[in-house]
């Protein structure tokens, strides 16, 4: 779209074989003829405007020379040079003569001046696309014209500059040359004469008729009328230019300026200007061009002193010819807005009557005054698109254009094949549902992938997801419901969620959710397809959501993300989680940029107003001075202020002048508020009751409201008018429809003003009534609250006192429990905790007696939510309450199991072991003391178990399911005993508990803990040197794991497979599979097992040389960085041992070692696994570096 208009001192046009040189008047005649046949009126206007712009640039070049060299004009020189007959048009006509010339719409190649000889070349013009039908392929209407000037050595004597002289001066230089270079009256009169002559040329160009000299020619008090065109005709005859200049002064009386001191005698009668403008309008010339010629004639009247300032009729008069050229450039740049008479209309309703309203033409998608910031954010994204994640934070007050700055990058992201996902945090819901906002943003990505990729590519992506996640795809589908659009098989199983609620087996938390999302983002992001995550209004986000963002950005294993976060820097203090995130990113060496936006400066604000009014920027200056003082340059405030001026009649559209008009003095005297909230409130108070009700309702739900909510409410008597109010609110510019089909406020400030329509004393009751009516409508019509149950609860919970007064505590508690369960199922644990905690607060003091079942289920769900939100102490207290108040042992078992998993998560291994041992005793099992279990005991127990397996094994046994709930719970707690005994008991104790688990399964049937027991058994008996038998046990374990569709337990299964049967095949394969187990463990929330898999995988990598040592060291450091988040001390010491070994192998630790202190607790403890590991690595290192004698 960007074309060049290059102005050069070129050879004569008749020497150019590709162009014809037509006198301007001849070209105008041809244009008129062509307009009657093939050329539309708008096409003709654009072409003539292009010629006009070229003429002004030629005149400015001539003027620049005259003023900078202080050379005075010859008496008749302006009239000769600024004359229609002094210009020619260059048109394309290859191998054609002038007589054979057939004009076409795109034939213009340049403009030239005969005296002095200057030419201007237009290259690759692009015209009028928007005027044609969609199937036509012409260029675009708007053009950005760039001008470059050179001198012509053989030009007339007035041009003496070197051929390689500099380009045209800047606006400031040209203005100085035009106005202040020769500060005397003679220069003023010459300037005024030039304005008049330019107006005359433009009139003749666009009207194609002679300028009405008899009504507007400048005259002398004594003089007779001078026919200037005769002199011009002589100069432009066949004789050389220099010769004709000399002879013309002898034969023709060319108008010259009056004698010094007689300047007041040159006048242009003011009343004649309107008549000229009317003539132009009657000829169909656009109002913008009529206004330009009017302002030129007004400039011819100007004295250039204080009297002009007092004469309001001259306020819009031009101050320089450079301003004229810039206005013409603007007309060509956006003709639809500035050149043509395009009055945007909208139907409005006033007193039940439909009226036509002229609208201000705001550029909603244009970013004003942010060039520097736009460059910074673009550069940052370009770095990301080369393969490394980066963060970009934007601070600023509400309405300063933060979101607009981010959105300016969307097109570039799309062009390079990237994806933009976003979420806007909301003051009304975000602090309760912060993590759900991040999940929602990533959920959008699934739909984008489906929409933008062909089926073969989607099939490949689905395969990558299956390969990466395996059984964990159920976890992914549980978090990202939209992942099912990528493949029908990616659906979250409902049965698993029911089982987790009953048993407390859900170990997922915010960290595991974040890591699962990260695994997905690694698969779909790349330098060719980077992901831009935009989170708006971070001041309302909490540390849970921001920790997930840190997980995304600090990843060093292949993700490619550009994170952009905006926040109101005037509404946060130094302790806000935003700044903690910035510090963490710095520690993690994630490149981070930060900018702060302020209000627009005077020039950019004036451009914004000029665009809205479709007026030349110079005309809007006076209004901009008022607006910037009122708004401090806030872009949103500017728009609302202008809208307020229009609504109050202080800014009106003049249909006769075809422009917006105003009175600065009246606006200043009006005393309009300088607070945007007051401005919006004033406007909203004048709206109809239906619109106000709709705005109040939407404000209660935040910045965005689901359309289904509006539909439900419209069914009620109280809110029957919201649907009609919605339509009017959209027309009024308060609300708009988003891409998902929901409705949102156009700006946060609009939502705040709408919320303020509700008196503070009535807000809680308004929320409560809104939620109660929604709940009544859903239940009364037999509809399930479904997705809006969280919205209903968020409204009802504002009126806790009203709930109690209406005796609705139990129904409200059940509704909150339903909302909490839904949030838990969606892995939004903090939101779940909020709703469940509210539900518990609504129960009576005797709830365990009067509402036992409700209390039991509610407390257990609350403990789950607290555990997943890392509120371990609180979860322990709730579980201890359950264990104390539950009526029977069976009701206590889920609480005990969740309690021991919490102990494990906190590293309280002894507490977990002792509690599990006590529960097993109550279940009827005998758990011996460690001293009572000898190696001989285990030595006989293992063959006994293997023999039983050999006898019982078969398809019948594999299909026999353990039905007894007591035995099932026994297996659960034995699995905890196995895990804890590994860290604090001798190895043979682990074997003892495994044999007990396997024998229970062989006698009573299989359950979901059987695969883990069988797999560990195979790793124990690997020393028996019966490979076939070991493989069979392991194979059966894997088949059972697939049958039970395990996810959480699958990590243990894989770990022990590769510690046992897997080693019979390949250490390298074991290392690869253990990495997958590590990822699976973190996704399911089993962090301790996950990092144990990581350590074991590193050990196999070292032994098998599966990976080069440098890469392996980087992998270990990746695990270590994650451990700074997960705080697992046991695993940390293991990894430090592995790291020291790898560092020794690389360079004996000279450059790769780190300072780390290893602590091994009680070295005399025979079950000290850390000490065993330390000795193993010492032996291993010494052997490989050549000190085998030390291994004894």
Best-predicted range by mean pLDDT (168-182, 926-940, 1167-1181): 926-940
Residue with tokens 């059940």: 814
Nearest of 566, 517, 541, 567 to residue 433 by alpha carbon: 541
Positive or negative, the Cα torsion across 478, 479, 481, 486?
negative
Predicted pLDDT at 243: 32
Rounded mean pLDDT, 1172-1177:
66
pLDDT-derived band at 969 (thresholds 50, 70, 90) equals: very high
Cross-strand pairs, 736: 744
Nearest of 521, 418, 509 to residue 469 by alpha carbon: 521
Which residue intervals of 1021-1168 are DSSP H helices?
A: 1027-1043, 1050-1059, 1067-1084, 1087-1104, 1109-1126, 1129-1147
* CA 810 distance to own-chain centroid: 42
Residue with tokens 């919205």: 791
Which residues contact residue 135 at a Cβ distance below 8 angstroms, ignoring those fewer than 6 apart?
Answer: none
User: What angle (nearest 5°) sits at the alpha carbon of residue 874, between those of residues 871 and 875?
Assistant: 80
pLDDT in tens, 275-285: 777 778 788 89
pLDDT-derived band at 227 (thresholds 50, 70, 90) equals: very low
Contact 1100, 1094 (CB under 8 A): no
Lowest mean pLDDT of 129-143, 321-335, 521-535, 677-691, name the range. Answer: 129-143
Predicted pLDDT at 1162: 45
Lowest mean pLDDT of 69-83, 186-200, 202-216, 467-481, name the range. Answer: 69-83
Measure the CA–CA gap between 776 and 771, rounded to whole angstroms: 9
Predicted pLDDT at 619: 94
pLDDT in tens, 1089-1101: 788 888 888 878 8
DSSP state of 523: H
Which residues contact residue 246 at a Cβ distance below 8 angstroms, ignoring those fewer than 6 apart?
Answer: none
Rounded mean pLDDT, 220-236:
36
Which residue intervals of 739-888 are DSSP H helices?
A: 748-755, 763-780, 789-796, 800-805, 809-825, 829-841, 847-850, 852-868, 872-885
Measure the CA–CA gap between 986 and 676, rounded to whole angstroms: 72
Predicted pLDDT at 750: 92
Query: What percentage of the chain reaches a pLDDT higher than 70?
Result: 74
DSSP 1108-1143: -HHHHHHHHHHHHHHHHHH--HHHHHHHHHHHHHHH
Measure the CA–CA gap between 974 and 1017, rounded to whole angstroms: 14
Quick one: tokens of 49? 């405007």
Helix (H, G, I), strand (E, B) or coil at 196: helix
Nearest of 795, 798, 751, 752 to residue 772 by alpha carbon: 795
Residue scoring higher pLDDT (349 or 421): 421
Rounded mean pLDDT, 16-28:
79
pLDDT-derived band at 10 (thresholds 50, 70, 90) equals: very low
pLDDT-derived band at 1034 (thresholds 50, 70, 90) equals: confident
Rounded mean pLDDT, 1067-1071:
78
* CA 477 distance to own-chain centroid: 24
| pLDDT > 90? residue 764 | yes
| pLDDT > 60? residue 935 | yes
Predicted pLDDT at 803: 92
Contact 471, 1047 (CB under 8 A): yes
Which residues contact residue 8 at a Cβ distance below 8 angstroms, ignoring those fewer than 6 apart?
Answer: 119, 120, 121, 148, 149, 150, 152
Measure the CA–CA gap between 54 and 3, rounded to whole angstroms: 14
pLDDT in tens, 1177-1186: 677 666 666 6
Residue with tokens 């929602």: 440
Quick one: tokens of 583? 């510090």
Helix (H, G, I), strand (E, B) or coil at 91: strand
Exposed/middle/buried for residue 250 (C-beta within 10 Å: 0-12, 13-18, 19+): exposed
Contact 898, 879 (CB under 8 A): yes
Rounded mean pLDDT, 623-638:
91
Nearest of 132, 137, 277 to residue 207 by alpha carbon: 277
Contact 755, 770 (CB under 8 A): no
Residue scoring higher pLDDT (1106 or 421): 421
Nearest of 584, 522, 523 to residue 549 by alpha carbon: 584
Rounded to whole angstroms, what are the CA distances from 1098 to 1019, 1109, 1111?
Answer: 18, 10, 11
Instruction: Write down the mean pLDDT value for the chain.
Output: 79
Query: Does 116 sit behind a cis peptide bond, omega within 30 degrees of 0 on the bond before it?
Result: yes
Quick one: tokens of 592? 């981070």
Query: Three-state SS string across 145-187, please?
Result: EEEECCCCCCCCCCCCCCCCCCCCCCHHHHHHHHHCCCCCHHH
Quick one: tokens of 165? 């002289």
Rounded to whole angstroms, what are the CA distances from 668 to 54, 308, 625, 630, 662?
Answer: 40, 22, 11, 10, 11
Q: Any idea of the CA torsion for 456, 462, 466, 468, to the nearest 10 degrees?
A: 100
The distance between the two most distant Cα atoms of the chain, rounded to a whole number of Å, is 136
Residue scoring higher pLDDT (169 or 475): 475
pLDDT-derived band at 312 (thresholds 50, 70, 90) equals: low
Measure the CA–CA gap between 685 and 716, rounded to whole angstroms: 24
């Amino acid at each position: 779209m960007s074309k060049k208009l290059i102005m050069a001192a070129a050879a004569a046009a008749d020497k150019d074989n590709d162009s014809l040189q037509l006198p301007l008047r001849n070209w105008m005649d041809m244009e008129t003829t062509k307009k009657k046949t093939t050329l539309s009126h708008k096409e003709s206007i654009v072409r003539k405007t292009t010629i006009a712009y070229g003429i002004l640039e030629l005149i400015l070049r001539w003027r620049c020379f005259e003023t900078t060299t202080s050379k005075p004009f010859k008496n008749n020189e302006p009239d000769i040079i600024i004359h229609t007959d002094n210009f020619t048009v260059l048109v394309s006509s290859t191998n054609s003569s002038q007589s054979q010339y057939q004009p076409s719409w795109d034939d213009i190649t340049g403009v030239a001046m005969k005296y002095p000889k200057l030419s201007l070349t237009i290259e690759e013009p692009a015209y009028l696309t928007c005027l044609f039908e969609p199937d036509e392929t012409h260029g675009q209407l708007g053009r950005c014209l760039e001008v470059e000037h050179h001198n012509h050595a053989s030009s007339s004597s007035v041009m003496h500059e070197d051929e390689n002289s500099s380009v045209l001066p800047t606006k400031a230089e040209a203005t100085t040359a035009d106005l202040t270079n020769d500060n005397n009256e003679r220069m003023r009169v010459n300037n005024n004469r030039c304005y008049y002559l330019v107006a005359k040329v433009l009139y003749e160009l666009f009207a194609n008729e002679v300028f009405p000299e008899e009504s507007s020619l400048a005259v002398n008090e004594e003089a007779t009328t001078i026919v200037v065109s005769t002199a011009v005709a002589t100069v432009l005859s066949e004789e050389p230019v220099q010769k004709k200049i000399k002879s013309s002064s002898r034969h023709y009386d060319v108008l010259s300026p009056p004698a010094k001191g007689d300047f007041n005698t040159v006048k242009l009668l003011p009343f004649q200007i309107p008549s000229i403008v009317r003539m132009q309008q009657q000829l169909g010339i656009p109002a913008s061009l009529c206004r330009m010629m009017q302002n030129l004639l007004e400039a011819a009247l100007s004295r250039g002193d204080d009297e002009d300032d007092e004469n309001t009729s001259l306020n819009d008069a031009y101050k320089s010819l450079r301003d004229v050229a810039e206005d013409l450039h603007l007309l060509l740049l956006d003709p639809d807005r500035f050149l043509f008479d395009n009055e945007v209309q909208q139907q409005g309703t006033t007193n039940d009557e439909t009226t036509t309203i002229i609208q201000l033409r705001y550029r909603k998608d244009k970013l004003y005054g942010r060039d520097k910031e736009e460059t910074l954010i673009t550069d940052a994204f370009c770095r990301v698109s080369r393969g490394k994640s980066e963060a970009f934070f934007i601070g600023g007050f509400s309405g300063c254009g933060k979101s607009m700055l981010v959105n300016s990058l969307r097109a570039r992201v799309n062009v390079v094949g990237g994806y933009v996902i976003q979420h806007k945090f909301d003051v009304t819901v975000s602090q309760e549902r912060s993590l759900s906002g991040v999940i929602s943003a990533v959920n959008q990505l699934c739909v984008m992938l489906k929409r933008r990729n062909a089926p073969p590519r989607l099939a490949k992506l689905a395969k990558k997801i299956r390969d990466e996640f395996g059984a964990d795809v159920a976890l992914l589908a549980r978090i990202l419901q939209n992942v099912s659009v990528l493949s029908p098989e990616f659906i979250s199983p409902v049965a698993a969620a029911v089982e987790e609620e009953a048993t407390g087996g859900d170990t997922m938390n915010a960290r595991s959710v974040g890591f699962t999302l990260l695994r997905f983002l690694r698969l779909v992001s790349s330098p060719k397809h980077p992901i831009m995550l935009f989170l708006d209004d971070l001041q309302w986000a909490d540390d849970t959501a921001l920790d997930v963002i840190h997980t995304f950005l600090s990843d060093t294993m292949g993700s490619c993300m550009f994170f952009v976060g905006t926040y109101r820097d005037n509404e946060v203090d130094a302790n806000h989680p935003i700044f903690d995130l910035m510090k963490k990113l710095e520690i993690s060496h994630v490149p981070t940029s930060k900018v702060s936006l302020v209000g627009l400066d005077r020039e950019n604000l004036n451009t914004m107003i000029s665009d809205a009014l479709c007026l030349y920027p110079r005309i809007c200056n006076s209004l901009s001075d008022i607006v910037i003082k009122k708004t401090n340059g806030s872009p949103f405030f500017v728009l609302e202020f202008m809208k307020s001026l229009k609504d109050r009649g202080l800014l009106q559209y003049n249909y006769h002048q075809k422009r917006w008009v105003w009175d600065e003095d009246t606006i200043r005297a009006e005393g309009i508020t300088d607070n945007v909230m007051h401005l919006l409130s004033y406007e909203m108070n004048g709206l109809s009751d239906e619109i106000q009700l709709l705005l109040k309702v939407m404000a209660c739900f935040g910045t965005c409201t689901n359309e289904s909510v509006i539909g439900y409410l419209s069914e009620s008597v109280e809110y029957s008018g919201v649907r009609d109010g919605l339509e009017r609110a959209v027309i009024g510019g308060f609300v708009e429809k988003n891409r998902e089909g929901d409705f949102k406020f156009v700006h946060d400030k609009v939502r705040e003003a709408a919320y303020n329509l509700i008196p503070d004393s009535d807000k809680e009751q308004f929320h409560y009534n809104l939620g109660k009516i929604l709940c009544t409508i859903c239940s009364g019509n037999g509809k399930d609250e479904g997705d809006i149950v969280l919205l209903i609860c968020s409204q009802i919970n504002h009126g806790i006192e009203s709930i109690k007064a209406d005796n609705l505590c139990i129904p409200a508690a059940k509704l909150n429990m339903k909302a909490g369960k839904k949030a838990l199922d969606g892995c939004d644990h903090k939101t779940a905790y909020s709703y469940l905690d509210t539900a518990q607060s609504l129960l009576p003091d005797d709830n365990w007696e009067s509402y036992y079942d409700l209390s039991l289920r509610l407390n257990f769900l609350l403990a789950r939510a607290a555990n997943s939100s890392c509120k371990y102490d609180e979860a322990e207290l709730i579980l201890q309450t359950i264990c104390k108040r539950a009526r029977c042992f069976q009701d206590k078992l889920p609480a005990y199991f969740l309690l021991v998993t919490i102990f494990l998560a906190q590293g309280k291994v002894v507490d977990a072991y002792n509690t599990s041992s006590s529960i097993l005793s109550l279940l009827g099992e005998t758990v011996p003391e460690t001293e009572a279990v000898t190696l001989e005991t285990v030595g006989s127990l293992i063959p006994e178990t293997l023999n039983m397996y050999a006898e019982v094994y078969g398809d019948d046994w594999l299909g026999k399911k353990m039905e007894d709930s007591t035995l099932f719970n026994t297996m659960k707690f034995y699995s905890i005993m196995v895990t804890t005994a590994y860290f604090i008991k001798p190895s043979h104790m682990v074997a003892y508990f495994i044999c007990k688990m396997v024998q229970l399964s062989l006698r009573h049937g299989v359950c979901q803990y059987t695969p883990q027991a069988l797999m560990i058994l195979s790793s124990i008996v690997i020393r028996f040197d019966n490979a076939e038998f070991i493989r069979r046990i392991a194979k059966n374990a894997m088949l059972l794991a697939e049958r039970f569709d395990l996810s959480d337990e699958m990590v243990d299964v894989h770990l022990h497979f590769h510690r046992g049967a897997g080693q019979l095949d390949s250490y390298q394969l074991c290392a690869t599979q253990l990495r997958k187990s590590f990822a699976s463990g973190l996704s399911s929330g089993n962090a301790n097992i996950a990092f144990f898999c990581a350590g074991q995988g590193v050990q196999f990598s070292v032994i098998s040389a599966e990976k080069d040592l440098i890469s392996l060291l980087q992998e270990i450091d990746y695990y270590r960085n994650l451990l700074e988040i997960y705080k697992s001390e046991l695993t940390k010491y293991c990894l430090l041992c592995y790291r020291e070994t790898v560092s020794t192998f690389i360079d004996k630790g000279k450059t790769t070692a780190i300072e780390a202190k290893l602590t091994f607790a009680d070295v005399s403890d025979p079950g000290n696994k850390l000490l065993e590991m330390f000795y193993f690595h010492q032996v291993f290192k010494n052997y490989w570096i050549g000190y085998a004698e030390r291994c004894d």
